[in-house]
Amino acid sequence: MDAEPRSLTVYLAALVTLALLPLGLIAVLQTRAVITEADERSRASVLARTIEAATRERELLQKAVGASSGLTAALSAGGMDKAACSGLMRRFVERQPEFVFAGFIQPNGVMACSTVEKDIDLSDAPGFGQISENPQLTFSVSRAGAATGQSVIIVTQPVMNRTELMGFVSISIPHALARTPLDVGNIGSDVVIALFDVTGEVLSSNVGLDEVKPFLPPAKENLLVLSSSGKTFSAKTADGEDRVFAVASIIPGEVAVIGSWPREAALASVGAGSTALTIAFPILMWVTGLGVALWGLHRLVIRHLDSLRSAVRRFALGERDPIESLAGAPQEFQQIQTAFNRMVLLIREAEAQHERDLVEKTLLLREVHHRVKNNLQLIASIMNMHLRKAETTEARRLLEQLQRRVRGLAMVHQSLNQNSQMTTINTEALIGHLVAELAHRPPILGQVVEVDCRIAPVELGQDQAVTLSMLVAEALTNAVKYVGVPQDGPPTISVELTRPEESNLHLKISNTRGQTDDGADLFHSGGIGQRLMQAFLRQLDGSETITETSSHYVYEVTFEIAELEGDSEPQTIADERGGDARAAAE
């Protein structure tokens, strides 16, 4: 079974979608590339701004490393007593206001000299055992320095005499960063900047050492490796917040800075936002292209097709009006309009000519039936004149039979003349007229012959109607001829036509039997009527049933209603009827 056809709009939408598919794919790729580039620029900007936020701290730490290297060089030469060492430390701090403490720690953890005049033992201090086993530059945090009592960042650098460890130079930077935020400028109050050492310990932060942990990624062991080349990455914090992190080196291999940025503030488009933008642009392009195409299709095609379709529908319903001007229609539609209007004009003229021909044919056909009817009536009148002058009963009865047949034929042509459709004949009117014309008979033994006529109104084709009327005329003639007075009632003739089924008709003609006053039972016509009835029955392709009792004679015929196949010429009908009658006579 063929699929239901789709509208032109659906096909156009499919074609536009197919046509825009390559452009859509290109747009997706280009949009994705632009978004990727924007992300990279945003990440580079985040990294640069993170490094910029830690500029002051980087300079301070680098200065501390350089100063500790100078003190290490001075102490590694040897020959300096405690007083000279302490004086060197105090002069150093006085010249460098960024530092609050400087001292020299012996390998056993005892402070040999410092800027403070008290003995300090750091052998049990956290982390001292590690730097003793692995002497190297280290950075650490002390919330309460042993010498200053304040929060400081401690820079420790070993003092070596060739391969021998002489001790450590320790410089303390005032850890105001623990309470005062880093100089983050205008990067946003929700951005967190923190410095951390090689162990992952936070040295300082713009939100304080105690509040920084919830803003950092949980795994920090690889941050120093990432900081060597400067990286940005997305991760979840310990609290489950999705943030963007930028890591950069401050002191290579020792100290790095990490910036924790909210995703919205960090990148131009990331994740779902970039995906939505990547898809939204091609969809917008498709919607725009489809809208323009549909507007153009409706403007140039569909509205003109609707006008043509409406004109064709009106034409199918019988209207023969041409199409009005299609304003703004393309040349092709104007050509279709011209061809349609020309076709309407030709068909309208042809139909008008057909109507005129049909009227003329109807008038001529009615005139033919009228003249035939008049001629048959004239013949019946002539027979009636001969009937009055007939001297023998046999001659009068023969003329009466012939006259009834002629009057029956005249009645058929009268019905054809009165029928406005000229294709079908109503059985009720036709047989009713026949009964009124042929069933008239003088009283028998002083009793009036009663006629009972019950005819179902059925439309029959001309051929079948004429044949049926001739059969009824012959059967009715026999009934009139042989009707008698029964012992229990008046003489009666009954004509009944019923429709027991949709496709069948049942004809029943009966007459009472009994006494008569004209000796009709002595007259024999040679069986011509019976032979004619058999011929008409064959034309109807029906079956007959005859029932005879002492009081009644019943003639029944059942036949199938023929399908209407159009008009039949009356002359052809007359020829066929005449042929059957001649065959019956022979």
Q: State pLDDT tens for residues 178-236.
A: 344 444 455 556 788 888 887 778 888 888 777 888 888 876 556 666 666 688 888 88
Q: Which of 234, 266, 298 is the last residue of a domain?
A: 266
The number of C-alpha atoms within 13 Å of 342 and in the hemisphere containing its C-beta is: 6
Residue 543 belongs to domain spanning? 421-585
- b/e sequence 105-119, b meaning 16+ C-beta within 10 Å: bbeebebbbbbbeee
Quick one: DSSP state of residue 562?
P
Residues 6+ apart with CB under 8 A from 530: none
Q: Is residue 460, in this structure, part of any structural domain at all? A: yes
Is residue 75 pLDDT above 50, yes or no? Answer: yes
Better-scored residue on pLDDT, 183 or 12: 12
Beta bridge partner(s), residue 558:
506, 543
C-alpha angle 120-122-124 in degrees, rounded to nearest 5: 135
Question: What pLDDT score does 404 carry?
Answer: 75
Ordered DSSP codes for 188-220: -TT-EEEEEETT--EEEETT-TTTSGGGS-S--
The Cα 35–Cα 31 span in angstroms is 6
Residue 373 in this model has a pLDDT that exceeds 70: yes
Distance in angstroms (rounded) separating the CA atoms of residues 294 and 561: 58
Q: What is the CATH number of the domain that holds 527?
A: 3.30.565.10
Picking from 20-34, 158-172, 423-437, which range would have the lowest pLDDT averaged per residue? 20-34
Find the mean pLDDT for residues 327-354: 86
Residue 196, Cβ density class (10 Å: 0-12 exposed, 13-18 middle, ≥19 buried) = buried
- Predicted confidence at residue 202, as pLDDT, reads 82
**Tens digits of residue pLDDT in 483-506:** 999 988 899 999 999 999 989 999
113 lies in some domain: yes
Mean pLDDT of 236-249: 84
- Quick check: 409 and 428 in contact, CB under 8 A? no
d(CA 411, CA 435): 10
Q: What residues are paired with 171 via a beta bridge?
A: 102, 155
Sign of the Cα torsion 577, 359, 375, 475 reads positive
Average pLDDT of the chain, as a whole number:
80
* pLDDT on residue 186: 52
CATH of the domain at 185: 3.30.450.20
Q: What is the pLDDT of residues 540-569, one digit of tens each?
A: 999 999 999 989 999 999 999 988 754 444
Q: Residue 177: which of 149, 154, 145, 207 has the closest Cα? A: 207
Q: Which residues are CB-neighbours of 534 under 8 A, at least 6 positions away?
A: 584
Q: Is residue 360 part of a domain?
A: no
User: What pLDDT sits at residue 271?
Assistant: 47
Q: 28: part of which helix (H) or strand (E)?
A: helix 8-53
pLDDT of residue 406: 82
- Compute the distance between CA of residue 70 and CA of residue 73 in angstroms, rounded to an integer: 5
Q: What pLDDT score does 578 carry?
A: 45
d(CA 168, CA 131): 9
User: What is the rounded end-to-end Cα distance, in angstroms, of the chain?
Assistant: 60
In a domain, 262, yes or no: yes
Residue 512 makes CB contacts below 8 A (sequence gap 6+) with 483, 484, 485, 486, 489, 490, 491, 492, 493, 551, 552
**Separation of alpha carbons 408 and 54, rounded Å:** 129
φ/ψ (deg, to 5) at 370: -65, -45
The predicted structure's pLDDT at residue 543: 94
Taking only the tens place, the pLDDT of each residue in 89-125 is 888 888 888 888 888 888 888 888 888 877 788 878 8
Mean pLDDT calculated for residue range 360-386: 87
Q: How far apart are CA 390 and CA 401, in angstroms?
A: 14
| Per-residue pLDDT at 1 exceeds 50 | no
**149 φψ region: left (φ > 0), alpha (ψ -120 to 50), beta (else):** left
Task: Report yes or no: 248 and 51 within 8 Å, Cβ to Cβ.
Answer: yes
User: For residue 173, is it within any domain?
Assistant: yes
Q: Tell me how many domains the chain contains.
A: 2
Higher pLDDT among residues 389 and 279, named by residue: 389
Report the C-alpha gap between 336 and 343 in whole angstroms: 10
Helices (H), 507-569: 528-540
Domain annotation covers residue 32: no
Residue 573 corresponds to which tokens in the numbers above? 């009908």
pLDDT at 506: 96
231 occurs within a structural domain = yes
3-state DSSP assignment of residue 63: helix
Sign of CA dihedral 523, 528, 529, 534: positive
For residue 454, the model assigns a pLDDT of 95
Query: Percent of the chain beyond pLDDT 90?
Result: 13
Confidence of residue 574 (pLDDT cuts 50, 70, 90): very low
Mean pLDDT (whole number) for 77-88: 81
pLDDT above 80 (res 7): no
Beta carbons of 497 and 456 less than 8 angstroms apart:
yes
- The residue that leads in pLDDT, 544 or 137, is 544
Percent of the chain at pLDDT exceeding 70: 85
Please state, as a whole number, how many other Cβ atoms lie within 10 Å of the Cβ of residue 407: 19
Q: Is 532 in contact with 408 (CB distance < 8 Å)?
A: no
* pLDDT tens per residue across span 505-534: 999 999 999 888 765 444 455 577 788 889
Q: Is the pLDDT of residue 411 over 70?
A: yes
Residues whose CB falls within 8 Å of the CB of residue 219, separated by 6 or more in sequence, listed in order: none
Question: In angstroms, rounded to a whole number, what is the distance separating the alpha carbons of residues 58 and 60?
Answer: 5
In this prediction, residue 276 carries a pLDDT of 67
- What is the predicted pLDDT for the residue at 546? 94
Amino acid identity of 486?
P
Q: What is the pLDDT of residue 530?
A: 86
**Listed residues 266, 299, 315: the one ending a domain:** 266
Report if residue 121 sits inside a domain: yes
Element (H, E) at 354: helix 331-389
pLDDT value at residue 526: 59
Which of residues 217, 241, 266 is at a domain's end?
266
Per DSSP, the three-state class of 367 is helix
Distance CA 257, CA 250 (A): 6
Two tokens, residue 337: 């309009």
